[in-house]
Amino acid sequence: MTPCIRRLLVPIDFSAGSDRASQYAAVLARALGASVHLLHVLEESFATHAVWEGDALEVSARRERAVRESEAKLSAIAAGFASTGARVTIEVRCGRAAREIVAVTERRGTDLVIMGTHGRTGLRHLLHGSVAEHVLREAPCPVLAVCESGVTNLTGTSTAVAAYAL
């Protein structure tokens, strides 16, 4: 049975890698007649949690402002898909990026995730982890990882195209 790719998910962190991933998604959306869902995850950090009860309103206001700013940026990226004829939707979620991406992938019945990766290796990879690697292991569909400087296979070795299926 030939896989049918109709729903693309493109996690966007506003990096050069996610910009390149959205370019790949535009090409694939046009060629396959696929829809595109752009997702940005606002990472929850210790700094955004209220330490005192009085801080809760400030944290909530900062989060709302960050959501609105992220939605505006995603809308601008979505506008770039106009020439593809693809139906493009946007979503901003709060939480741990890797978990939220996998959850959205499952909820939307995504056929292919196209995401940027920073291509970190060694100590930087150990300290920062890899959202792309987590998504690769947990997503129920294939993942195309696009490195900021090209396409990577998540081992740090650049290749022409690297698509991963579980």
What's the CATH code of the domain at 39? 3.40.50.620
CB-count burial class (<10 Å; 0-12, 13-18, 19+) for 1: exposed
Per-residue confidence (pLDDT) for residue 35, from 0 to 100: 96
User: CA angle at residue 142 from 140 to 147, to 5 degrees?
Assistant: 125
In whole angstroms, what is the distance from residue 122 CA to residue 83 CA?
40
Q: What's the pLDDT score for residue 59?
A: 78
How many whole angstroms from its chain centre is CA 84? 19
pTM of the model: 0.81
Strand 88-95 versus strand 150-152 pairing type = unpaired
Residues of the chain with pLDDT under 50: 46-47, 123, 125-128, 151-166
Q: Is residue 42 part of a domain?
A: yes
Q: What are phi and psi of 152, to 5 degrees?
A: -120, 160
The pLDDT assigned to 80 comes to: 92
Dist. CA 75–CA 140, nearest whole Å:
27
Q: Does 160 fall in a domain? A: yes
**Structure tokens given for 8:** 């693309």
CB atoms inside a 10 Å sphere around CB 42: 17
Is residue 151 assigned to a domain?
yes
Residue 49's pLDDT is what?
Answer: 55
Q: So what's the pLDDT on residue 54?
A: 59
Q: How far is CA 99 from CA 7, 32, 60, 94, in A?
A: 19, 27, 22, 10
Q: Is residue 59 part of a domain?
A: yes
Count of structural domains within the chain? 1
Cα separation, 130 vs 2, whole angstroms: 30
Q: What residues make up the domain containing 95?
A: 7-164
- Asked if residue 1 is part of any domain, the answer here is no
Q: What CA–CA distance (Å, rounded) separates 153 from 1? A: 26
Q: Give domain status of residue 2, yes or no.
A: no
List the structure tokens of 75: 């809308």
In a domain, 136, yes or no: yes
Has residue 71 been placed in a domain? Answer: yes
